[in-house]
Structure 1
Amino acid sequence: MAAVIMNEEQIRELIQGPGDVEWSYEMRRKCQEILPSLLLGPLQVSKSLETLQSLGVTHVVCIRDAKEAFSVRPRFPDHFQYMVLDVEDSEEQNLIRLFPAAKQFIENAITQGGRVLVHCNGGISLSPSFVVMYVMQHFNLSWEDALHLVQNRRYCISPNGGFLTQIKEYESIYKARNAVAAFPPQQRLVSVRRKRSDEDSEDEREDERKRVLMDQDDAMES
């Protein structure tokens, strides 16, 4: 799924989100719509079949620490498609390595007309980190803008320091990939050929230098 291209005003409106929402403490126990087909919330929402069906959920990304597996788990596999990610909720956990599979699952679901709930236990640090990375790449945003976009819809999110560092790192990773993808394949081929040609020329020059040195040695010996 290609990144969505918007002008500055559209980006500002998107990040700002709905301005008529008054956040209350109870809302952290519910899920919020981050995008029309993407919801973010806590475990509590995923435990209610009636709630999930009323929200139109078709796919669920269940993110959990391995020690939470007894409670944070797929509860309705006959009704929804699940993806389970066992992730350690610590600052050392590598999220960037796990993100591509989650991104692909979300994109496939949305492309099929589905609606995805991404949740962890509390919906505060772990699952929001994945959602921030997703909207960052989807809308070609900076990490700050992506964080604010999600935060303006679910006010209670607070990725831990390690996750926040990785969110920042992911911005440069996805932008570098975009830059490579935007480079015309023909030009890439020309650049590779030029590089090889330069390398060949360097090899030839090195061979020539070696021949000169050998000739000089031969002359001195004779």
Structure 2
Amino acid sequence: MHSLGDEIKGFSKNRLKKQCTRVTTLSGKRIIETWKGSLVHVVDDPDQPDGPTCGYVQDLSQDLQMGVIKPWLLLGSQDVAQDLDVLKKYKVTHILNVAYGVENVFPNEFTYRKLSILDLPETDITSYFPECFDFIDQAKQEDGVVLVHCNAGVSRAPSIIIGYLMYNEKLNFARAFSVVKNARPAVCPNPGFMEQLHKYQDSVRRQFDITHEKTD
């Protein structure tokens, strides 16, 4: 019976089978990579399909699911923000656009606030809170209905609303997240935003304690 040491000593690279990997690039081109020693040999895939292809699965379906956080506070994707019928159905009057590369479509129909925020873990999402919260409060004070949207309605816009509920409703993170998640199940802030929201909870708690002490 051979030991592991014997197996290792008897190892030879020449006994390894050549490994081929089919790769689809971002542009949709398909290539085959074959390792030969320490070098990689690249050739076009002979089974490349005719016509244009994509290096990812395109989702061309519209996301018109409106998350109703409160009767006057809504959450959605850019698709919702670009559908006038849906906006009218929910009686939207104000739109907070925190998407990147998405213009305000109906400037004559709604009151807009546009902030181009990148959906990256290193983006300081909390630095945008004051301006966003002021706009949301403005809509509320004017008896309006505000839609908060980003590109997919999954990370940036939900993070803004979670922060707003924590600040305005004095909810802890778990409760605020649950409210938003129940209203729009697709919600999933990126890891950086989640970490910032947890820290923001502590900041709000300290601020509330200070305010509470002053009013006693």
Q: Give SS of 2:171's match.
A: coil
Counterpart contact for 1:28–1:154, Cα < 8 Å: no
2:190 corresponds to: 160
Q: Mark the runs of 5 or more structure 1 residues left unpaired by the alignment.
A: 1-25, 188-222
Deviation at 1:117, TM superposition (A): 0.3
Q: Within the alignment, does 1:121 sit opposite 2:156 as a pair?
A: no
Q: Give SS of 2:126's match.
A: coil
Counterpart contact for 1:33–1:39, Cα < 8 Å: yes
What code does the residue aligned with 1:62 have? N
Q: Give SS of 2:134's match.
A: helix
2:51 corresponds to: none
Counterpart contact for 1:30–1:44, Cα < 8 Å: no
Counterpart contact for 2:78–2:99, Cα < 8 Å: no
2:166 corresponds to: 136
Superposed CA RMSD: 1.7
2:204 corresponds to: 174
1:78 corresponds to: 108
CA distance in 1, matches of 2:142, 2:64: 28
Q: Give SS of 1:182's match.
A: helix
Counterpart contact for 2:63–2:80, Cα < 8 Å: no
Q: Give SS of 1:151's match.
A: helix
Change (3 A) 1:36 1:174: same
Q: Within the alignment, does 1:37 sit opposite 2:67 as a pair?
A: no
CA distance in 2, matches of 1:35, 1:165: 25
TM-score by length of 2: 0.68
Match 2:94 to one of 48, 59, 62: 59
Higher strand fraction (1 or 2): 2
Give the paired residue count.
Answer: 156
Q: Give SS of 2:154's match.
A: coil
Counterpart contact for 1:135–1:146, Cα < 8 Å: yes
Q: Mark the runs of 5 or more structure 2 residues left unpaired by the alignment.
A: 1-60
Deviation at 1:135, TM superposition (A): 1.3
1:8 corresponds to: none
What code does the residue aligned with 1:60 have? I
Higher relative contact order structure (alpha carbons within 8 Å, sequence separation ≥ 6): 1
CA distance in 1, matches of 2:67, 2:178: 14
CA distance in 2, matches of 1:27, 1:159: 20
Q: Within the alignment, does 1:49 sit opposite 2:84 as a pair?
A: yes
What code does the residue aligned with 2:151 have? N
Q: Give SS of 2:96's match.
A: strand
Deviation at 1:27, TM superposition (A): 9.2
CA distance in 2, matches of 1:147, 1:34: 11
Runs of 4 or more above 3 Å deviation: 26-29
Deviation at 1:183, TM superposition (A): 2.5
Q: Within the alignment, does 1:93 sit opposite 2:135 as a pair?
A: no
CA distance in 2, matches of 1:138, 1:97: 16
CA offset digits 1:28-47 (Å, max 9, x no partner): 53212111110000000111
CA offset digits 1:178-198 (Å, max 9, x no partner): 12222327x9xxxxxxxxxxx
